[in-house]
Amino acid sequence: MREEWIFADKHLSKISVSSNPNNEPVSVHGTSDHLRCIGIGTDAAVFQSIDVPDYAFKMYANDRVQKVQIETEVYEKLGDSPYFSTCFGYKDNYLVLSFEEGINLYDCLLQGIPIPNEVIEDVDQAREYVRQKGLNPRDIHLKNILLQNGRAKIIDVSEYVKPGNDMRWEHLKKAYDLYYPFIKGKPVPHLIIETIRKTYNHRSIHSAPFDEFMDQTYSFLSKFWKKED
Confidence label for 170 from pLDDT (cuts 50, 70 and 90): very high
pTM of the model: 0.86
Integer angstrom CA distances of residue 35 from 89, 93, 97, 100, 120:
18, 16, 15, 16, 32
- The answer to whether residues 129 and 86 belong to one domain is no
pLDDT confidence of residue 218:
66
Question: How large is the average pLDDT for residues 161-184?
Answer: 91
CATH assignment at residue 94: 3.30.200
Question: Of 98, 119, 136, which marks where a domain is finished?
Answer: 98
pLDDT confidence of residue 60:
97
Parent domain of 75? 5-98
- The answer to whether residues 107 and 199 belong to one domain is yes
- The answer to whether residues 41 and 67 belong to one domain is yes
**Domain membership flag for residue 226:** no
Q: What is the pLDDT of residues 35-79, one digit of tens each?
A: 999 999 999 999 999 999 999 999 999 999 999 999 999 999 999
**Domain membership flag for residue 221:** no
**Domain membership flag for residue 58:** yes
Task: Tell me whether residue 181 is exposed, middle or buried, using C-beta atoms within 10 angstroms of its C-beta: 0 to 12, 13 to 18, 19 or more.
Answer: exposed
User: Distance (Å, rounded) from C-alpha 41 to C-alpha 25?
Assistant: 5
Q: Which residues contact 74 (CB under 8 A, 6 or more apart)?
A: 135, 157, 158, 160, 161
- The answer to whether residues 93 and 117 belong to one domain is no
If one counts the domains in the chain, the total is: 2
Question: How large is the average pLDDT for residues 30-36?
Answer: 94
